[in-house]
Structure 1
Amino acid sequence: MPQSGEKRMRLRYDGVCRLCGASLPAGVEAVYERATKTVRCLECAPAGAPNAPEPSDSTAESKAEPPTSAPDVAGASARREYERRKAKREKRIRAKHPKLGGLILAMSDDPQSTKAWNTGAIGEEQLGRRLDELASDSVRVLHDRRIPGTRANIDHIAITPTGIYVIDAKRYVNQRPALRIEGGILRPRVATLMVGGRDRTKLVDGVLSQVEIVRDIVGDAVPVTGVLCFIDADWPLLGGAFTIRGMEVLWPKKLYPLLVASGDLPDSVDEAGVRLSAALPQA
């Protein structure tokens, strides 16, 4: 039987299950909770509910309010883009080969441009779960925040007593990040980010541009630091982490102590979090 104040409906807007954090794209069936104005997937049920709510009539569905204040879900936009590309490819192949489409899909991989979105989503999801565990009264974490006026997003933002950390999660499996320095005496000093032997300095440029956006929102009173966090990379047993152009390059276990360190800015956490949440909508 349906619980009071709940309705099973086909979503008109993208949502996120408030219990398990699963992405719920527009068009899927889910349970809308009027009291909290949030949604949950059909697999999740509140404590003490023996059955999921039953479907309501289509007229009521069309009048339901859209869900609001859904929790941040790390990697949500990357996951949606991967699923969209994957579904588009499957639809195209099945339409072109009605009889052999299933076999072709089973025997072929997604193109690298599609798999890259899945790889990125996995990295953001892994790091996001651990950052959520670190969240507390003094550490606030935001995930997957859209930069207004662009299609770009910021993977993670941690607001802590020591300042704000703009964190870009990168998953380069078994590839080693390294700092290469050239020049310095007779010619300008140039710092280059190398990953797996390739120049990846554009990753640094991207994070630093995000840092400036966050600084414009919170002002100069709170320090803002950029972080490139490489997941599943080939880090050496000793050393490994480094700084490039004022930005930290490290791995998850090296990042966590920075976020929970004590500092002198306890009153800034809530204020900065409110400003950033308002200025950077969920992606």
Structure 2
Amino acid sequence: MRLRYAGTCRLCGDDLRAGREAIYERATKTVRCVACPSVTEPAADIAGGSARREYERRKNARESRIRSSHPKLGWLILALTDEPQSTRAWERGAVGEELLASRLQELPDTARVLHDRRIPGTRANIDHIVVTPTGVWVIDTKRYKGRRPRLQVEGGLIRPRSESLRIGGRDGTKLVAGVTTQVESVRDAIADPAVTVTGVLCFVEADWPLIGGDFIVGGIHVVWPRLLVNRIIPANGASIDADTVYRRLTETFPLHR
């Protein structure tokens, strides 16, 4: 959009004068450069980069279709209609990854963080990998604003016990399976049983209770950003060669482009 008021790019901090074209991010009510240097830098780990690019691709393709089909009224149709839910979901996902990445900056210098890494041979990616002197954390970020994750347990006495993840009343167990696959990929890459690999589903802006709320389902930790950072901060425990593990993961899981 063309800015009515001056602003500041959320990513690089550059001043954006009134009248300049910029990208308005509806979810966070912030703006950023159309060609932000911090996003286009090829060598950098950009949290949410692949989700952001997919959102921009879908958004631009829709705008192009509408303007081509309606040369005179395309701008009005775009102004009066919302983007499809499937398109907005990519932007929400990107914002969630960016918010968690900002929180992960609070980790001590002994922690090394990889963002948006592709799993070789697949179209899937790992949102964040954190390597610490005591282990590795594989993190999948989800942004379900205002919805509460909870553990549902069934059976136990007469029939077999089963656990599932519920998000705002809906079944989210497939998310657990996704993180489990990511954890297995990281374990295979490290190839060292002495290195502990912990899988995490981190829900950003969810409706967490005032007391408690985190849980483990299928071996995957379900937490919020602040608690995750507190859990990751290395405590006393077995020390690993973090530099070697970090290099191996960097080589195995390339940036998702």
TM superposition score normalised by structure 2: 0.82
Contact between 2:116 and 2:255, CA under 8 Å: does it hold in 1? yes
Hey, what does 1:88 align to over in structure 2? 61
Partner of 2:84: 111
180, 183, 197: which is aligned to 1:211?
183
Equivalent residue in structure 2 for 1:197, among 169, 173, 176: 169
**Contact 1:161/1:263 (8 A) holds in 2:** no
Distance change >3 Å, CA 277–CA 237, structure 1 → 2: same
Shift of 1:43: 7.5
Cα offset for 1:265? 4.4
CA distance in structure 2 between the aligned counterparts of 1:20 and 1:222, rounded to whole angstroms? 36
Ranges in structure 2 where 5+ consecutive residues have no aligned partner? 1-10, 15-33
C-alpha distance in 2 between matches for 1:258 and 1:238 = 17
Structure ID, larger Rg: 1
**1:141 to 2:113 alignment:** yes
| Aligned counterparts, 1:1-283, within 5 A | 20=12, 70-136=43-109, 138-219=110-191, 220-283=193-256
Task: Quote how far apart the aligned CAs of 1:188 are.
Answer: 1.3
Identity score, percent: 57
- Given that 1:135 and 1:141 are in contact with CA atoms closer than 8 Å, whether structure 2 keeps it comes out as no
Task: Judge conservation of contact 2:149–2:206 (CA < 8 Å) in 1.
Answer: yes
How many Å separate the matches in 2 of 1:171 and 1:85? 20
Give how far 1:185 is off: 1.7
Distance (whole Å) between structure 2 residues aligned to residue 209 and residue 215 of structure 1: 10
Asked which structure has the greater RCO (Cα within 8 Å, sep 6+), the reply is 2
Task: Give the Cα separation in 2 of the matches to 1:243 and 1:139.
Answer: 23
> 1:21 deviation in Å?
10
Q: CA deviation at 1:266?
A: 4.1
Once the two structures are TM-superposed, the CA of residue 115 in structure 1 deviates from its matched residue by 0.3
Contact 2:128–2:139 (8 Å) recurs in 1: yes
Q: Report the Cα offset of residue 262 of structure 1.
A: 2.1
Mark the CA change 1:42 to 1:151 in structure 2 (over 3 Å): closer, same or farther: closer
Residues 221, 267 of structure 1: CA spacing in aligned structure 2 closer, same or farther, 3 A cutoff? Answer: closer
SS in 2 for 1:134: coil
RMSD over aligned CA atoms reads: 2.0
Instruction: Give, in angstroms, the shift of residue 247 of structure 1.
Output: 1.2
Q: Is the 8 A contact 2:111 2:131 kept in 1?
A: yes
